[in-house]
């Protein structure tokens, strides 16, 4: 047939805008009959097909490519579906959205949600998850003053994931602190726990009490900073996306180590998706000393740009508020507070980012945006 060309390893088919090539294994693997109709998992085994798999006959009928294979199996593919794959639209994943950079003036614009509204209204949860994908930060107000309140908020997005220290953590000043967070000292801008093999994704920080003098929250969209580094210092940017640097966290019972890229790229589109940044949990850089000649300038440039007031959102987190943010994309910290000036207590936990995207896909399909 004129509009289909059967080749050795695949076929060419004329689609409305273009002639596209499709590999025979790919076509056979993705025949509609390959999927279990109930579980939607692939139940076809491509490994069983012959080395020289090819098509016996193919034609276009009623907007479909109809294929007959040499073993008699028949497949059909809609031309529109083929077109989508040929021009890179793929599945059309709605969770791959453009991240919107923000700057020091973001506090008044931050997406805000009411706890009870979220619990009662899945359409609001769709909006909430969307704002987390786009801005990477949101505030939930009117939280119950309880551990259960935080658990149920996390449950709206996914399952709480443990870090090496357990399912949740409590931030308050204590005697014999195992890390700086548990003192009244300032916490420099950081992302939590890069020493973990998979650093935590979405972080919830539920403020239960904040009567102390000082202790303002510091938040920076590190993606916005990384994109500025990319345009102003492309060589530094490239190095920080390629090198995996060592991180380490030790307590008396743990010695947690991992290597991470300081700037992470989204495998879907190559855009900056986040950072791993924590000077207090950075291990000794173990590269060739000559590489330090470029690594330190790159690291210092990026770190200093993050401290630029242009990017820094500074505000007071109030009791009853929970700030929810992408722990890879958003660097956070706090100003010091005065010992004995009042109570300050935050309870935190994490949910993976994959769960956020999954929840968004499901809820947005059910509740379209008004
Ligand atoms: C932390 C942290 C923030 C705060 O414990 O890692 O970032 O405001 N705490 O105390
Ligand atoms: Zn932190």
Judge if 63 and 120 occupy the same domain. no
Nearest atom, ligand 1, residue 317 CA: 8
Cα 282 to middle of ligand 2, angstroms: 14
Judge if 79 and 109 occupy the same domain. no
Going by C-alpha positions, the residue among 305, 310, 248 that lies closest to residue 279 is 248
Digits of tens for pLDDT over the chain (370 positions)? 458 999 999 999 999 889 999 999 999 999 999 999 999 999 999 999 999 999 999 999 999 999 999 999 999 999 999 999 999 887 889 999 999 999 999 999 999 999 999 999 999 999 999 999 999 999 999 999 999 999 999 999 999 999 998 999 999 988 778 788 888 999 999 999 999 999 999 999 999 999 999 999 999 999 999 999 999 999 999 999 999 999 999 999 999 999 999 999 999 999 999 999 999 999 999 999 999 999 999 999 999 999 999 999 999 999 999 999 999 999 999 999 999 899 999 999 999 999 999 999 999 999 998 7
206 lines ligand 1 (CB under 6 A): no
Mutate to test the pocket of ligand 1, among 346, 347, 350 (most ligand atoms within 8 A of CB): 346
Beta bridge partners of 334: 187, 217
Judge if 213 and 127 occupy the same domain. yes
Strand bridging mode 4-6 / 244-250: unpaired
At which of 85, 117, 138 does a domain end?
A: 85
Supply the pLDDT for residue 174.
81
Cα 190 to middle of ligand 2, angstroms: 6
Judge if 55 and 168 occupy the same domain. no
Supply the pLDDT for residue 16.
85
Judge if 200 and 264 occupy the same domain. yes
Q: Is 91 a domain residue?
A: no
Judge if 151 and 62 occupy the same domain. no
Q: Is 135 a domain residue?
A: yes
Nearest atom, ligand 1, residue 334 CA: 8
Taking a C-beta distance cutoff of 8 angstroms, is the pair 254, 264 a contact?
no
Beta bridge partners of 210: 344
The CATH number of the domain holding residue 17 is 3.30.2020.30
CB atoms within 10 A of CB 164: 14
In angstroms, rounded to a whole number, what is the distance separating the alpha carbons of residues 173 and 184? 6
Cα 339 to middle of ligand 2, angstroms: 20
CB pairs under 8 A, 24+ apart, for 28-37?
28/53, 28/69, 28/73, 28/75, 30/77, 31/73, 31/75, 31/77, 32/75, 32/76, 33/73, 33/75
Judge if 78 and 128 occupy the same domain. no
Longest Cα–Cα distance of the chain, Å, equals 84
326 lines ligand 1 (CB under 6 A): no
CA distances (Å), origin 99, targets 92, 132, 273, 345: 17, 9, 8, 31
Judge if 140 and 206 occupy the same domain. yes
Judge if 68 and 212 occupy the same domain. no
Four-residue CA torsion sign, 288, 291, 292, 293: positive
How far from chain centre, in Å, is Cα 297? 27
Q: Is 93 a domain residue?
A: no
Going by C-alpha positions, the residue among 325, 117, 62, 339 that lies closest to residue 215 is 339
Judge if 344 and 286 occupy the same domain. yes
The CATH number of the domain holding residue 280 is 3.60.130.10
Judge if 146 and 216 occupy the same domain. yes
Strand bridging mode 312-315 / 187-190: unpaired
Q: Is 92 a domain residue?
A: no
Q: Is 329 a domain residue?
A: yes
Which two tokens mark 85?
């794959």
Cα 348 to middle of ligand 1, angstroms: 9
Count how many domains the chain has: 2
Q: Is 278 a domain residue?
A: yes
Q: Is 296 a domain residue?
A: yes
Residue ID of nearest Cα to ligand 1 atom 1: 181
Per-position b or e across 275-284, b if 16+ CB within 10 A of its CB:
bbbbeebbbe
Range of the domain at 257: 104-366
Supply the pLDDT for residue 182.
87
In terms of Cβ atoms closer than 10 Å to its own Cβ (0-12, 13-18, 19+), residue 34 is middle
Which two tokens mark 272?
């900056």
Going by C-alpha positions, the residue among 227, 217, 248, 174 that lies closest to residue 322 is 217
Q: Is 198 a domain residue?
A: yes
Cα 81 to middle of ligand 1, angstroms: 47
Taking a C-beta distance cutoff of 8 angstroms, is the pair 350, 202 a contact?
yes
Cα 241 to middle of ligand 2, angstroms: 22
Supply the pLDDT for residue 177.
83
User: Could you say which ligand is closest to the alpha carbon of residue 218?
Assistant: 1
Judge if 75 and 108 occupy the same domain. no
Mutate to test the pocket of ligand 1, among 200, 334, 345, 350 (most ligand atoms within 8 A of CB): 334
């Amino acid at each position: 047939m004129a509009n289909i060309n059967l080749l050795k390893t695949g076929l060419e088919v004329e689609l409305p805008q273009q002639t596209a090539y499709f590999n025979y294994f790919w076509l056979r693997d993705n025949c509609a009959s390959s999927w279990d109709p109930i579980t939607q998992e692939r139940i076809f085994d491509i490994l069983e097909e012959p080395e020289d798999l090819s098509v016996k006959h193919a034609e276009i009928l009623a907007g479909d490519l109809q294929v007959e294979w040499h073993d008699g199996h028949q497949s059909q593919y809609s031309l529109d579906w083929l077109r989508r794959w040929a021009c890179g639209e793929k599945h059309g994943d709605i969770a791959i959205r453009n991240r919107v950079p923000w700057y020091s003036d973001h506090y008044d614009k931050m997406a805000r949600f009411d706890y009870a509204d979220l619990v009662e209204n899945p359409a609001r949860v769709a909006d909430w998850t969307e704002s987390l994908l786009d801005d990477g930060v949101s505030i939930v107000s009117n939280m119950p003053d309880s551990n259960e309140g935080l658990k149920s908020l996390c449950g709206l997005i996914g399952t709480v994931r443990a870090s090496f220290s357990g399912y949740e953590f409590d931030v308050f000043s204590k005697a014999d602190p195992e890390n700086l967070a548990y003192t009244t000292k300032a916490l420099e801008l950081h992302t939590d726990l890069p020493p973990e093999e998979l650093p935590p994704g979405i972080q919830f920080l539920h403020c239960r009490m904040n009567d102390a003098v000082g202790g303002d929250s510091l938040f920076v969209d590190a993606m916005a900073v990384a994109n500025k580094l990319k345009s102003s210092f492309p060589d530094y940017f490239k190095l920080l996306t390629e090198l995996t640097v060592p991180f380490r966290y030790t307590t008396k019972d743990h010695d947690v180590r991992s290597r991470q890229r300081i700037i992470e790229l989204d495998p879907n589109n190559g855009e900056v998706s986040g950072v791993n940044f924590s000077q207090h949990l950075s291990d000794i850089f173990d590269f060739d000393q000559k590489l330090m000649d470029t690594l330190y300038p790159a690291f210092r440039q990026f770190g200093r740009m993050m401290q630029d007031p242009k990017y820094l959102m500074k505000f007071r987190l109030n009791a009853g508020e929970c700030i929810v943010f992408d722990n890879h994309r958003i660097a956070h910290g706090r100003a010091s507070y005065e010992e004995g000036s009042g109570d300050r207590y935050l309870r935190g936990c994490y949910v993976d980012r994959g769960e956020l995207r999954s929840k968004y896909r499901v809820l947005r399909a059910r509740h379209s945006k008004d």
